[in-house]
Amino acid sequence: MISPPATSGPLQWPFIGLAVLLVLLILATPELIAVGPSAGSPQTVAVLILDQTPGANGTHFYVESLSVLRYTTITLGVAEHVSWPVPDRGLNLTWDRWSNTTESLVALISSPANPVAVNVTAIYIDPAGATAIYRGVYAFNTTGGQTYIESLLPGLDPGVSSLVLNSPEPLPLLATVVGG
């Protein structure tokens, strides 16, 4: 007859070893104890939201994340004296007004101008020190109920060339991740 293995106390050693191993893995894995998402992850992606309220005179521009995330800094600038189409990819635009926020969830700037250009930078720094920089420069011209969009930043594709706005429309920003 074979007898069962001997145990020492109420817990068996394999279970104690497994518990110790799990505790060590949790403490050794920075992602499990980090305060925020890592730079460049989907939670840190910033977008420019274009909002033209029906009947209102002007356009609102918001910068925010796809999730609820606080950015280290968000900078929004508008150029209100823009010709259409924008010459030289907007290299000679004069940025009339700026909105700068720190440790913010969202930034807003409005403009009654048409056409108008917007310059956006949102920066997120993760707990490990890596930085995600989201940038975009767009020009907008509203004519006959349609808003035409032109990207002024090489490599930035809005995905559409015009919109009929019935609700706010998110536009992508270029991402650069540094460090980490």
Cβ atoms 34, 126 nearer than 8 A: yes
Determine, yes or no, domain membership for 29.
no
Write down the pLDDT at residue 11: 59
Determine, yes or no, domain membership for 141.
yes
What is the radius of gyration, based on Cα positions, of the chain? 25
Calpha distance 41→177 (Å, rounded)? 10
Determine, yes or no, domain membership for 83.
yes
Write down the pLDDT at residue 136: 95
**At residue 7, does pLDDT exceed 80?**
no
Bridge partners, residue 171, by sequence? 48
Calpha distance 130→108 (Å, rounded)? 26
Write down the pLDDT at residue 61: 94
Q: Which domain holds residue 121?
A: 42-178
Interstrand relation of 169-172 and 174-178 (parallel, antiparallel or unpaired): unpaired
For residue range 12-55, what is the model confidence (pLDDT) as tens digits? Answer: 777 677 777 777 777 666 554 456 788 888 989 999 999 887 76
Determine, yes or no, domain membership for 145.
yes
For residue range 77-99, what is the model confidence (pLDDT) as tens digits? Answer: 999 989 998 888 778 899 989 99
pTM (two decimals): 0.77
The count of domains in the chain is 1
Determine, yes or no, domain membership for 124.
yes
Determine, yes or no, domain membership for 159.
yes
Write down the pLDDT at residue 168: 80
**At residue 102, does pLDDT exceed 80?**
yes
CATH code of 161's domain: 2.60.40
Determine, yes or no, domain membership for 170.
yes
Determine, yes or no, domain membership for 32.
no
